[in-house]
Structure 1
Amino acid sequence: MNQHQVGLAAEALAATLFAWCDFDVSVQYGANQPEYDLVVVQGDRMLKVSVKGSQDGAWGLTQNYKKDRTYHEAADVWLAKHKEMTVLCLVQFKGVDLIKGELPRSYLATPAEVVQRLKDSRNGLGETILKENHIWKSGKAVGVHDKIPDEWKFSRARVEELLNRMNKN
């Protein structure tokens, strides 16, 4: 798939998963979207969802903020650009075999959780790219295993947890 197709497929899958979990989903379309792609609502609770698709096992998130900054500083600048009520839905197509009926892997995380994972990457050295499951083979982090936490896997329980956390008022 090209980059546009990855983004479109990821957004469609995310909308489907949220709807499948009995949530109302509004999808934004157009060139000038704010920081989120979907709005997920259940009763008076809502989440804004930024969908990120990938087919290479990782999501580049903070590299645009890295110039003249450390990895940790770049992550902090990226985090400051996100508002309350926003979560990320990370969709991974790498290694998915549609012929066998496999679905892309999906994860949900707050921007703060993503930033902490980026800062912890490479044994605390930091990274701009969130890796789904990677063992460093060279450099200062040789042998370090960076992996998305299992708790981030998309599930009804994870959506409920995030809705409850973000809608405490």
Structure 2
Amino acid sequence: MKSSWQVATAAEAFAAAQFARCGWDVSVQYGANQPEYDLVAVDGDRMLKISVKGSKDGGWGLTQSHISNADYHGAADAWLKKHSKKTVFCLVQFKDAALDALPRMYLATPAEIAAWLKAAASGRGDTILYERHAWTDRAKAAGTVDVIPENWRFTEERINEIASDGYP
């Protein structure tokens, strides 16, 4: 995959396939004028609107367009306000994924992502959600490592947790 379009297309296909493998009916939106989500997954009375984000470099740039004056927390808050509480993000990572293996996949709510972005870099915040990032000596967060929470991994249990009545 060379272009961002190819990464996005492949990510949506993998996300749709994984939800289908877990027994969910999936509708895929195509076209230039999509709302905030790419897929709709339905299981009985449960429905999830899924925004798929693909990456081939280890991170997902999410809030860059919202940042000003190095206010990372404000950027995360502005980004969060643009997303419905019923939208779920499916993060698909192709970096170091063999062609004959599934990419690593994660499911997170907008609120979880905003909280993670604010906590990144030892609390300074960041605009990029990294799968794993070790901060170098030149960074404010030198010596720390940001890692996506293990419980975000795409599993049937995670889908059920997010789709439960307790989800905001």
Normalized against structure 2, the TM-score is what? 0.95
User: Is the CA contact (8 Å cut-off) linking 1:25 and 1:40 kept in structure 2?
Assistant: yes
Greater mean deviation of Cα atoms: 112-121 or 157-166: 157-166
The whole-number CA distance in structure 1 between the counterparts of 2:167 and 2:97 is: 34
**Structure number with higher helix proportion:** 1
Sequence identity (%): 57
Could you tell me which residue of structure 1 aligns to residue 107 of structure 2? 108
Q: Letter of the 1:57 partner, please give it.
A: G
Normalized against structure 1, the TM-score is what? 0.95
Q: Letter of the 2:140 partner, please give it.
A: K
The whole-number CA distance in structure 1 between the counterparts of 2:84 and 2:113 is: 14
The whole-number CA distance in structure 2 between the counterparts of 1:151 and 1:74 is: 25
Q: How far apart are 1:166 and its partner, in Å?
A: 5.9
User: Is the CA contact (8 Å cut-off) linking 2:85 and 2:109 kept in structure 1?
Assistant: no
1:95 aligns with 2:109: no
Q: How far apart are 1:116 and its partner, in Å?
A: 0.5
User: Is the CA contact (8 Å cut-off) linking 1:47 and 1:166 kept in structure 2?
Assistant: no
Q: Which digits, 9 at most, give the CA deviation of each residue in 1:98-119, with x for residues without a partner?
A: 1xx3210000000000000000
Q: How far apart are 1:33 and its partner, in Å?
A: 0.2
The whole-number CA distance in structure 2 between the counterparts of 1:7 and 1:166 is: 30
Task: Supply the RMSD in Å over aligned alpha carbons.
Answer: 1.2
Q: Secondary structure at the match of 2:164?
A: helix
The whole-number CA distance in structure 2 between the counterparts of 1:70 and 1:43 is: 42
Q: How far apart are 1:18 and its partner, in Å?
A: 0.1
Could you tell me which residue of structure 2 aligns to residue 75 of structure 1? 76
Q: Secondary structure at the match of 1:16?
A: helix
Query: What is the count of residue pairs matched by the alignment?
Result: 166
Could you tell me which residue of structure 1 aligns to residue 124 of structure 2? 125
CA gap of 1:123–1:44, structure 2 versus 1, over 3 A, is same
Could you tell me which residue of structure 1 aligns to residue 164 of structure 2? 164
Could you tell me which residue of structure 1 aligns to residue 145 of structure 2? 145
Q: How far apart are 1:141 and its partner, in Å?
A: 0.7
The whole-number CA distance in structure 1 between the counterparts of 2:98 and 2:153 is: 19
Q: How far apart are 1:69 and its partner, in Å?
A: 5.7
Q: How far apart are 1:43 and its partner, in Å?
A: 0.8
Q: Which digits, 9 at most, give the CA deviation of each residue in 1:86-138, with x for residues without a partner?
A: 0000000000111xx32100000000000000000001000000000111012
Gaps of 5+ in 1: none
Gaps of 5+ in 2: none
Give 1:3-18 correspondences, 5 Å limit.
Answer: 3-18=4-19
Could you tell me which residue of structure 2 aligns to residue 154 of structure 1? 154
Could you tell me which residue of structure 1 aligns to residue 57 of structure 2? 56
Structure 1 consecutive aligned stretches of length 4 or more whose deviation exceeds 6 Å? none
Q: Letter of the 2:37 partner, please give it.
A: Y
